[in-house]
Amino acid sequence: MDATHYSYILASKRNGALYIGMTTDLVGCVLDHKCNMLPFTAQYLIHRLVYFQRHVDADAARRHVDWINQLHRIWKLDLVETVNPEWRDLYEDISSVRTPPRLDCPVS
């Protein structure tokens, strides 16, 4: 059986810089972003998981990421607001690991 795949959107803040990606390990992947392990998200402080969707396979996740990437920015913001109008960090919902006030890693 294939692993669950996820497409996701991270944001620096409400209506801020966005990062769109896909992974099979959503918690670990978001934690990598929070720990500034990716240059782009570290540079723009993109740490807030604001949207994600589960997919049954990698192709479906990739198609969804491609679709999101083709959207105009305003439509991407609308997509986030449809499921997360407060722009909460959904990482708290998917992980039992709490991110410390400072983003020093590893998170214990």
For the chain, give every domain's residue range: 5-94
Pairing relationship of beta strands 48-55 and 18-23 according to DSSP bridges: unpaired
Q: Hey, which CATH number is domain 5-94, 3.40.1440.10, 3.40.50.300, 3.30.930.10, 3.30.420.340?
A: 3.40.1440.10
What sign results for the dihedral spanned by CA atoms 56, 60, 64, 69? positive
- Looking at residue 2, its pLDDT comes to 56
DSSP 86: T
Is 60 exceeded by the pLDDT of residue 81? yes
- pLDDT tens digits along 14-53: 999 999 999 999 998 999 999 888 899 889 999 999 999 9
The CB-side HSE value for 56 (13 A sphere, CA atoms) comes to 1
Is 70 exceeded by the pLDDT of residue 98? no
Contacts of 60 (CB under 8 A, 6+ apart): 5
> What gap in Å lies between CA 20 and CA 10, rounded to an integer?
7
